[in-house]
């Protein structure tokens, strides 16, 4: 029932599938609330042989572009609490995450998307863009994941990321959601 109510899914699927086909990868949509981020939609190119995550499955907040884009969109105090909790439980990973969050926020401010080069799966590269919902405490994240062997050098940053960011800005405009600033 929740998924049926999510208008963003209906608006987004066509553009998601077009982008997935163009880059020979996957374009996914996650919905976050609190410290949970779950898959709610996925478009995948026929040629893409990566595993299809199950709808409703949880997304890693620290080891994916999607997760870091989501964390970057959270209020600063909530994001910092998460990073500090990670540092307390695993100091090495917590320090790594703090560095990656700094990079994610910089990339969002300068490029409009977060980047992951094999952080979760060595063969997969991804870009992600968060979208604040008109519903309080809801954040969506669009991501495009491409097998690294399908990418030319620089293609993720110069082509895939800008295409995803443009797609997301169009969906935000259709929904009447103003773009957020992550600087």
What element of type H or E holds 147? strand 139-147
For the chain, the average pLDDT equals: 88
pLDDT tens digits along 143-157:
999 999 889 999 999
* pLDDT score, position 95: 94
| pLDDT-based confidence at residue 19 (cuts at 50, 70, 90) | very high
Question: What is the rounded average pLDDT of the residues 8-35?
Answer: 92
Q: How many residues does the chain have?
A: 183
All structural domains of the chain: 2-175 (3.30.450.40)
- Say whether pLDDT at 114 is over 70: yes
pLDDT tens digits along 95-105:
999 999 999 99
């Amino acid at each position: 029932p929740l998924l049926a109510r999510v208008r963003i899914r209906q608006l987004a699927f066509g553009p998601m599938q077009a982008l997935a086909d163009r880059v020979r990868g996957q374009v996914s949509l996650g919905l976050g609330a609190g410290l949970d981020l779950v898959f709610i939609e996925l478009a995948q190119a026929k040629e893409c042989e990566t595993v299809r995550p199950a709808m409703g499955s949880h997304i890693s907040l620290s080891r994916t572009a999607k997760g870091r884009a989501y964390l970057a969109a959270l209020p600063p105090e909530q994001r910092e609490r998460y990073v500090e909790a990670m540092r307390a439980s695993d100091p090495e990973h917590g320090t790594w995450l703090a560095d990656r969050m700094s990079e994610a926020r910089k990339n969002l401010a300068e490029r409009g998307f977060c980047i992951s080069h094999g952080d979760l799966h060595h063969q997969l590269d991804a870009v992600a863009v968060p979208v604040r919902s008109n519903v309080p405490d809801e954040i969506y994240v669009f991501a495009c994941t491409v097998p690294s062997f399908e990418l030319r050098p620089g293609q993720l940053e110069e082509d895939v990321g800008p295409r995803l960011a443009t797609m997301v800005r169009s969906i935000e405009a259709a929904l009447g959601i103003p773009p957020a600033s992550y600087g």
